[in-house]
Structure 1
């Protein structure tokens, strides 16, 4: 194995750092050699260089200096080296053109830009990292490079993204995952001593039904039902966590259903790009309003995007 075919890809978001040691072989196919996880941007107290070098030390000890590509919140105002936001509509193939390069202990690091759009209500929305994953998804699914399609990328900050002929037209962000984490750990809704348990899909769907069928503005009341349904012994704390997830995801899907930027009709197809668990959650909620869904793995999309940019360089 020669180091000329190796590079390190780092997806560094708000909550997690995910680093990948990648090899590009014949036919431009990418092989994942190794991977490691670490703390997200908000959890490392600005010690970005130390955190990254610590994560990749086993790889550099074996292979020496390697090119590194980083994407996500690590390139934002709360991150390491800020990169610009590119205005939509944008073809994600051009991300590398606006990358910011810098040196770190002998490594050349390419920090990828984010994207921004202005919505019909004049509000500005931004994202960092998801545009790379969208690029990777499109490269692996050429049938979606023509025509319109709506993507859902669930996570800490869920993104709903309108694609037209391979370009990112606009997108909307919902803080669904972050709200879930805050409400689980910093509110009265879930007991501090709540044990981990198997995800209760029935409780999840009950939460979805509540907000999918509710009047606009009913989310805050719906959230409080997480507590009252435990007080009335309808839900255990473990079930309540799944129910809360359903309440939040149901509200997220309801907002996407009535968004003015696209038409989420009963025959619309949405591609959900996330982890297996989140894909299932959002697909269940979308199916309840008659939307057809297909699912794609977020890790595969991420690596595909990095692979394209590495080879473009």
Structure 2
């Protein structure tokens, strides 16, 4: 097998992998697409120049925001329901410096609230999860992909039926950096201790109210209960994660005993697992990086055996 190059090219970061025989044999990082407007091809060719010299013009498979309206070329969204074959067939193909380049398309749907919704990048993680865990391709499955824009996806027999976006991570960052709730928390990061658990419990309560009515508690408890900025920040994190999870349970209604698969970085995944377990839902945690890489292998028509040798 000659091998190929796989890349996860987001807004802020680029990760490229040299792949052969089911394994990653080398890797390199670079700038996100937002940092190189109009220079994606030159940036890519410069980063892979040593691989090109050693191995020739290998095929390249890319996913993420590189296929968006701010990317190299726009890869149109694929309409749900869609499965692995639609994702592979829907890649945008072009040539660059003698390399055959395929860029993954995102997914579009009408979400459970009746609004248009899109994802770009997460579909590759879903494809990777289907490749590494074949049981996810059978029956009704619920996936949680937390992040800046969290995605909750419903799969039926391996096809994404629809999904729902929650701006949980971006909302937290905005409130932290640009609201009274973040006053005094500069340089601090939330933790998953008692304050997070308190916020989580508040976010999960069936109290018949909505998030705007709960948020100010992160400030008022500092003023009236003498709690500090670190407490407030962690409370806010728990509150937002709890509201994200309780809202999704109402829309997706997992069957009794049905697990939800979480695809995320380990720390973030455990926060969502904590929230869902309070709702009586069992979880399976999968590494977001591992599933992204497995998804890129699947787009290339290969199986990931080991992330790195």
Q: For the Cα contact (< 8 Å) 1:266–1:289, is it kept in 2?
A: no
Query: Given the alignment, which residue of 294, 297, 300 partners 1:304?
Result: 294
Residue 204 (structure 1) aligns with: 196
- 2:17 paired residue number: 20
Show CA shifts across 1:6-31 (max 9, x none).
x22222234443332322x1xxxx22
Q: In the aligned structure 1, how far is the partner of 2:149 from the partner of 2:60?
A: 25
Distance 1:202 1:17 in 2: 36
1:76 to partner: Cα distance: 1.6
Find the aligned partners of 2:185 and 2:111 in 1 and give their Cα distance.
42
SS in structure 2 at match of 1:22: strand
Q: How many residues align?
A: 302
Q: Displacement of 1:90 after TM fit?
A: 1.2
Structure 1 gap ranges (5+): none
Shift of 1:268: 2.6
RMSD of aligned residue pairs (Cα, Å):
2.5
Aligned-partner Cα distance in 1 for 2:264–2:175: 22
Worse-superposed segment, 280-289 or 37-46: 37-46
- Please, which moves more after superposition, 103-112 or 142-151? 103-112
Q: Which residue of 2 aligns with 1:246?
A: 238
Q: TM-score, structure 2 length as denominator?
A: 0.87
Aligned residue number for residue 254 of structure 2? 264
Per-residue Cα deviation, 1:57-86 (whole angstroms, up to 9, x for no partner):
554455453322111222122322111111
With normalisation by structure 1, the TM-score equals 0.86
Q: Which residue, 91, 95, 100 being the options, matches 1:103?
A: 95
- Following the alignment from structure 2 to structure 1, what is the Cα–Cα distance between the partners of residues 17 and 226? 44
Q: In the TM superposition, what is the alpha-carbon distance from 1:263 to its structure 2 partner?
A: 1.6
Within 5 Å, which residues of 2 pair with 1:1-313?
A: 4-5=2-3, 7-23=4-20, 25=21, 30-42=22-34, 44-45=36-37, 47-53=39-45, 55-57=47-49, 59-60=51-52, 62-191=54-183, 194-196=186-188, 199-232=191-224, 234-259=226-251, 262-311=252-301
Tell me how far 1:271 sits from its aligned partner: 0.6
Q: Give the distance between the partners of 2:132 and 2:60, measured in 1 at CA.
A: 22
Q: Distance in 2 between matches of 1:232 and 1:62?
A: 65
**For the structure 1 residues 225 and 138, does the alpha-carbon distance in structure 2 shift closer, same or farther, using more than 3 Å as the test?**
same
- Cα drift, residue 32 of structure 1: 2.1
CA distance in 1, matches of 2:58, 2:179: 44
Alpha-carbon distance, 1:280 to partner: 0.1
Q: Which has the higher contact order (CA 8 A, sep 6+)?
A: 2
Q: What is the Cα deviation at residue 140 of structure 1? A: 1.0
Q: Say which SS state the counterpart of residue 223 (structure 1) adopts.
A: coil
Unaligned runs of 5+ in 2: 303-309
Please say if residues 112 and 164 of structure 2, whose CA atoms lie closer than 8 Å, have aligned partners that are also in contact. no
Give the whole-Å Cα distance in 2 for the aligned partners of 1:162 and 1:154: 14
Superposition deviation, residue 284 in structure 1 = 0.3
